[in-house]
Amino acid sequence: MDMKDTVFKILEWVGSSPLRVVILLILGVFGMAGWFVYTEKDAFMASYRAQQALPHMNGQYQEATNFILKNSHADLVAIFEVNPLLNTRKLVYLFVKGEGPVKQYNGYDVGLFTKDLGNNRDVISLMSGEIPCSAYLKPQSYIGFVYKDKGVNFMCRMSVPPDPSKFIGQISVGWREQPDDESARIVLRVASSMLWSP
């Protein structure tokens, strides 16, 4: 039986039944999706292996936060897990002075590169091993609205680890009033090292 006969048999089976047309369309979509997954399985596996090979933070979020609070008098500390391959930056720990850990936003993904130019500039700085500090005038993401709601007016950010060749996490620290930039940067470098176990 050649292709032409097969097509005619399928058309005879469908006839004028709308239900059979829908069934045929669903089978076609599933067939195409299955073929795509089958042909791209090597690419999917390579991506999965690359993600598994990425280093991870050691989970000492509370210890690093306590160090930051004690030595910089910060009002807010947010720690993010970063995956440059997937362009994700997920909140894993948020601490607000006077409230303690705020868990309702854990897992929220603000994205790594976004449509916000200021955010993208900061990400490039972080990837270069810099510690961008500036007045926090407007939110750059949904979590940014949380920062403003908590009274943050000045922020510094640091990559984890403090090494330009790796970027697996981010620490964002906020203050109501601007601190001494240089001492804040030293504290952030130490806290970043605390979250990294090579």
Per the omega criterion (within 30 degrees of 0), is the bond before 161 cis? yes
pLDDT at 155: 95
What is the arrangement of strands in the sheet containing 154-160, beginning at the earlier edge strand? Answer: 100-101, 88-96, 76-83, 169-175, 154-160, 133-135
Return the pLDDT at 52.
52
d(CA 169, CA 196): 9
Q: What's the pLDDT at 53?
A: 56
pLDDT of residue 36: 79
Instruction: Give the pLDDT confidence score for residue 1 in this predicted structure.
Output: 56
**pLDDT tens profile 11-58:** 777 777 777 777 777 878 888 888 877 788 776 566 556 555 567 899
In angstroms, the CA 99 to CA 63 distance is: 17
pLDDT < 50 stretches in the chain? none
Q: 45: part of which helix (H) or strand (E)?
A: helix 41-53
pTM of the model: 0.74
**Cα 62 from chain centroid?**
20
